[in-house]
Copies of this chain bind each other. A is one copy, B any other.
C-alpha cells in the first residue's frame, strides 16, 4: 500500500511549503496545483474554472439548467459536479501510483480507506499575515487588515468545502494524526521531525 501523506492547512500557515519540503526530503511525489491541471486536461474545463470549483465548492447560485453531458452514464451532469468526480478519481489514481504528499482537496477524507497520514498545519494570525506578505510580491501593497480579511475568507471557504465530504469540522484535531503550529517557525526546521514521525507511523501501520 502506498504511503500517502495528506496536508490540510490554514491559509498562510506554510502548509504548502511544508508539503513540498517533506515530499522532497522523502523522495515522494508531490501533488497540489498539478491536480487542477490534470482535471482541466481530462474534462476540457478551463483551469481557472476547475480551480474555482475545487477550492470554493459547489456554488448554489449557478442555474441548474446549465448542464452538460460528460463521459459518465449519468447525463446531463453539472460541470461543478464533474470537477469533484474527476478529483476523487484522480486522487485514487495518484495514490495508487506510489508514495505521495497531497496538499488540500480533502484528500484525507477521500482517501481514508488507504490509511493516509493526515497532517494539519496552522499558525496564529500575525504569522499568517507575515508569511502571506512575504510570499505574494503582488500583494506587498496590501495592508495587514485586508490581508487578514482575505485569510479569513479562504479559511471559511476551505471549512465549507470540507462540509461536502465529512461532518468532522475542518481543523478539528480529531481528524488528524498530528497538528503542527508554524507560528514564528521556519518550515524547513520542522521537516526532520515530520520525517521521523512518518517513519514510525507507516511502520506501525504495516
Contacts and interface: CB of A to CB of B under 8 A. Distances in A.
A181 B189 contact: no
A11 interface: no
Contact of A122 (B171, B173, B181, B189): B173
B186 A192 contact: no
Contacts of A197: 190, 193
Interface in A149-206: 171, 173-174, 176-181, 184-186, 189-190, 192-194, 196-197, 199-201, 203-204
A186 to B, nearest CB: 7
Given A179-B179, A196-B196, A189 B203 contact: yes
Contacts of A176: 179, 181
A200 B122 CA distance: 18
Given A192-B196, A204-B186, A173 B173 contact: yes
B178 A189 contact: no
Contact of A178 (B179, B199, B200): B179
A149 B186 CA distance: 41
Contacts of A139: none
Contacts of A24: none
Contacts of A196: 192-193, 196
Nearest to A182: B177
Contacts of A184: 204
17 contacts: A171-B173, A173-B179, A173-B181, A174-B181, A176-B181, A177-B181, A178-B178, A178-B179, A178-B181, A184-B204, A189-B204, A192-B196, A192-B200, A193-B193, A193-B194, A193-B196, A196-B196
Interface of A: 120, 122, 124, 171, 173-174, 176-181, 184-186, 189-190, 192-194, 196-197, 199-201, 203-204
